Structure 1
Amino acid sequence: MNKRFALRLSIVAMIGASLIGCASNAPVTGNTAAPVAAPSAAAPLAGVTLSGVVADAAGKASITVIDAQGKRRVQNSDATGRYSLAADGLVAPLLLVAEAGGRQYVALLASPAGATTANINALTDYVASAVATGAKLDGPVSLIEAGKAPAVSAAELKAKNALLQPLLGAALKEAGVTEADFDPVSSKAPGLAAVLGVVRHNRGYLSSKGVLGETSLFDYNYREITSFSPLNLAAAQAEQKTIQAPGTTRIFVAGDSTASNYDVEVKPRMGWGQIFDRQLKDSSVKVVNVAQSGRSSRSFITEGWFGMIEQEIRKGDYLLVQFGHNDEKCGYEPPRPAPARDVIDIANLCTYPGAAAGVPAEMSFQKTLEKYIAIARKVGATPVLITPVTRRSFKDGKIAETTHTWGRGKVPGDYSQTIRDTAKANNVALVDLDARSMAFFSSVGEEASLNYYLAVDPAVYPYYAKNTGSKTKPDNTHFQETGAEAVGKLVAAGLKEAKLPIADKLK
């Protein structure tokens, strides 16, 4: 690698740090270059004390309060996430940012007075996200980066709070939270903790900008909570109990859109990890599918998903790692000008295959994969590397070669081969899903493979009338239910062939 390319990689890394903004596990930072609102003319607060609970009261947190003029107050909570902070002298509205357990939470207060309850949790983050997008900002991180609280009214917050009802209204009632105008910031209902105990959150990724976007809410097993799939509290608590039970072996799946969960809105699109539990014959094993659409092995780490697994994985568990589709998004070199995403993708998604000299560690596919191996082995879990599933790319009736190579730039290589080499170098079990899926779909045939990949009738699934995935405009990367299940069987077969102990619990 020449010096010019090495220098460009260093510059790209710095660009990536600025583009990604404030990741969910990063410290509170901001700049005042793009304020959300002009400085407020309101009088400073007097006699106002903020107190509440951060997240689900599970641990110590750091809280930063930012007012409408950019002034800040910092306070630590106690070991249960409870805090109290004097807000005298600050100017409303207020933006509250909490860091707890590697997660970041945001809350907004329009006009606090006297002793004010100010909880900061996943639900308040969702509301803050709605305020941000309503102001044409990307999400909660954009609010923080603005450097001051947005000019938000109590009426606007009330309207945004109402957005939680289609997602969580039934679950809140199950928990005994019967407030007519539920507000996650001000609620003192004991049942709120029960809901928060099974709800996870994180920010999305805007691939067109390379920044973190809106907040999404997930149940305890990483299925997104939406109006199509509202939270069922009793079911979520039962599943949480099973996942946490000492006798349960958990299979964590870290991967991309080919493995991730999908909402019923986009049915029949599914990832293989979403229904991998169909390959189990033992109820003492539970699949925890953390795979996320659009992520590379690197962005899965920088956006906090890796940290979620790291906090939960334990001795006896399995970590299945399948990346490659988005690691390949390394763009052209030299990068094309915008709107081409070359610079953004290199900064946020790309890892380089092989072992080319001079590639920074954070840009190396092998070194990134080794981070997954390390967190599993640290606790006595079993890591398994999986090559990416093939794309539907037929030639002369066969898929004869891998669809996971990159050769447009100065670090060409084969992503599947890098995974094979990494598994061998680290003495880790390998499931060669690329080779297995190439053979399987070649045997199925080009036309029949449409019944596995996402190529459906829009008359049956109207969502695909305007979205890729119809018979006339097939999605040659992702799967419908039949394909997801078939790929899951290939993964299970690979685990058996590797002669891992978990093989006895697979069908």
Structure 2
Amino acid sequence: MKPNLRLSVAAMIAVSMIGCANNAPTVSGAAPTATGAKLSGVTLSGVVAAGQEKFTVTAYDAAGVRKSVSSDAKGRYSLSADGLVAPLMLVAESGRIQYVSLVAAPAGKATANVNALTDFVASAVAQDAKLPGPVALVQAAKAPAVTAEQLKAKAVELQPLVGAALKEAGASSAASFDPVVGDAGDLLKYVRHNRGYLSSKGVLGETSLFDSNYHPISTQSPLSLTHARTEAQAIAATGVTRVFVAGDSTASNYDVDVTPRMGWGQIFARQFKDAKQVQVVNVAQSGRSSRSFITEGWFDMIEADIRKGDYLLVQFGHNDEKCGEEPARPAPARDIIDIVNLCTYPGAAAGVPAEMSFQKTLEKYIAIAKKAGATPVLITPVTRRSFKGGKIGGTTHTWGKGKVPGDYSQTIRDTAKANNVALVDLDAKSMAFFNSVGEQASLDYYLAVDPAKYPYYTTQTGSRSKPDNTHFQEKGAETVGKLVADGLKEAGLPIANQLK
């Protein structure tokens, strides 16, 4: 990774990825902006992100004309908008990092910041235009037709998420904060941002905001600046061992609206004796494969932050298996989308492209850990609740329909051995555990809850009558975390001394 792409924990600025789109969007309900009058005497200036890195800032006007400048090392830029036609779209980029900001009608010397919060507003504009998110706006290569009133209305949607934190940061006019022109204080240092993935379309979607430890910032879980500062300091503290978790939905964090669904990484910190000495940084994301976790930028976030003495726990497989039929089925089947975005092939079959090899992809995680002086640990995917005749008879992570059939868990075992790194065989451990518990009792671990207590699951998979046989409720997440901890102890790793 190039040095200018590295992001420190203290910076708390996330990575996002450029996606695909086609035609220029028009915001629903917006009157088209006049394209006859060009701006004159207008200069845009502001700060990109938290003001701690150099970016290229490009202004796109309503006709697709663009101008670019480079910011300084603290993200400060100034750009003449003379000759451009409002509204304008500002796109700040450094490697895979991308922020979007929309300006409806600038005049004179105009402030135009570009950061995670302006990206959230741009995402809301894109959603109104029936577009997946900011990446679609950027790929359109021209500013969307949007008014100042619409942007103001979208900025208001930030209030339930960060309104209280803005007050803590001392932001002026926190109740009516406009991230394009407003000063958010140090809040932006503690907000990570990325774009969601629309699995049905295979494209990046709306902007998601996260706190220092990748917990979603939402109306149910608004940002507390005090907590974010404390957590960031704890994660970055000298002498602290950080345990990074890279994985999928079985390990990821979940917001309170889907309670009691939990990933094992979400509560893995419970396995350690002293939270001050060990910090779990759970970067696992729902729906990701080992490959899409890289292409969407999550991998880069870990690479930027991981340091000597840390651990990187890598658990993929559930989504790597999504390789479609061969030949691919026609729409609406997701075969092509899955192959292009998620699929990796197990084993070491000749002819598999390097980017599609599960082993070679896993070796990228091993490489960044070793380069940083950290310890990589490969983990086989947790078993699915697939009982037949009262038993889970074998691994639920094989693929036999495509041109490259194989066993994903075995590939992980082979990769760990070939690279001389630690292995936690969670597939085998979880199969043994749930077989000992039994089919009926296993419902208390997997996501199979009473919808009378958790109304969200009245219409969603995860009820007692329609169980989710892949994901877990709290009891299951904690149990799986304990199995991972047991595996770390069995591997004889120094981190075992910190485990309960």
TM-score range relative to shorter protein: over 0.9
Show the counterpart of 2:373: 380
**C-alpha distance in 1, partners of 2:34/2:415?**
56
Give the aligned residue type for 1:205.
Y
Show the counterpart of 1:253: 245
Show the counterpart of 2:7: none
**Which residues of 2 match residues 18-417 of structure 1 at below 5 A?**
24-26=16-18, 33-37=22-26, 40-100=34-94, 102-179=96-173, 180-187=175-182, 189=183, 192-282=184-274, 283-417=276-410
Residues 39/116 of structure 1: CA separation in 2 closer, same or farther (3 Å cut): closer
**C-alpha distance in 2, partners of 1:25/1:252?**
21
Give the aligned residue type for 1:213.
G
**In the TM superposition, what whole-angstrom CA distance separates every residue of 1:187-231 from its partner, at most 9, and x where no partner exists?**
1x3xx1311010000000011110000000000100000000000
Residues 472/234 of structure 1: CA separation in 2 closer, same or farther (3 Å cut): same
**In the TM superposition, what whole-angstrom CA distance separates every residue of 1:343-386 from its partner, at most 9, and x where no partner exists?**
00000000000001011000000000000000000010000000
Q: Secondary structure at the match of 1:470?
A: coil
**C-alpha distance in 2, partners of 1:409/1:394?**
24
Q: Contact between 2:65 and 2:84, CA under 8 Å: does it hold in 1?
A: yes
**C-alpha distance in 1, partners of 2:454/2:259?**
7
**C-alpha distance in 2, partners of 1:186/1:276?**
40
| Structure 1 residue 41: Cα displacement | 2.3
**In the TM superposition, what whole-angstrom CA distance separates every residue of 1:454-489 from its partner, at most 9, and x where no partner exists?**
000000000000100000100000000000000000
Residues 497/30 of structure 1: CA separation in 2 closer, same or farther (3 Å cut): closer
**In the TM superposition, what whole-angstrom CA distance separates every residue of 1:13-40 from its partner, at most 9, and x where no partner exists?**
xxxxxxxxxx9345xx987x51214784
Moved more, 175-184 or 322-331: 175-184
**C-alpha distance in 2, partners of 1:128/1:316?**
39
| Structure 1 residue 100: Cα displacement | 3.3
**Which residues of 2 match residues 467-478 of structure 1 at below 5 A?**
467-478=460-471
Q: Contact between 2:35 and 2:62, CA under 8 Å: does it hold in 1?
A: no
Q: Contact between 2:55 and 2:70, CA under 8 Å: does it hold in 1?
A: yes
**C-alpha distance in 2, partners of 1:40/1:481?**
55
Show the counterpart of 2:425: 432
Give the aligned residue type for 1:66.
Y
Give the aligned residue type for 1:276.
F
Q: Secondary structure at the match of 2:376?
A: strand
Q: Work out the number of aligned pairs and report it.
A: 479
Q: Contact between 2:170 and 2:185, CA under 8 Å: does it hold in 1?
A: no
Q: Secondary structure at the match of 1:319?
A: strand
**C-alpha distance in 1, partners of 2:97/2:141?**
20
Q: Contact between 2:171 and 2:185, CA under 8 Å: does it hold in 1?
A: no
Show the counterpart of 1:20: none
Q: Secondary structure at the match of 2:158?
A: helix
**In the TM superposition, what whole-angstrom CA distance separates every residue of 1:280-325 from its partner, at most 9, and x where no partner exists?**
0022100000000000000000000000000000000000000000
| Structure 1 residue 397: Cα displacement | 1.4
Q: Contact between 2:35 and 2:63, CA under 8 Å: does it hold in 1?
A: no
**C-alpha distance in 2, partners of 1:496/1:484?**
19
C-alpha root-mean-square deviation of aligned residues, in Å? 1.2
| Structure 1 residue 101: Cα displacement | 6.4
Show the counterpart of 2:11: none
Moved more, 178-187 or 204-213: 178-187
Could you state the TM-score of these two structures normalised by the residue count of structure 1?
0.93
Give the gaps of 5 or more residues in structure 1: 1-22
Q: Secondary structure at the match of 1:197?
A: helix
Q: Contact between 2:33 and 2:86, CA under 8 Å: does it hold in 1?
A: no
- Matched-pair identity in %: 73
**C-alpha distance in 2, partners of 1:434/1:106?**
41
Structure 1's consecutive aligned runs of 4 or more residues displaced over 2 angstroms after TM superposition are 23-26, 37-42
**C-alpha distance in 1, partners of 2:124/2:269?**
34
Q: Contact between 2:33 and 2:146, CA under 8 Å: does it hold in 1?
A: no
| Structure 1 residue 42: Cα displacement | 3.9
Give the aligned residue type for 1:465.
T
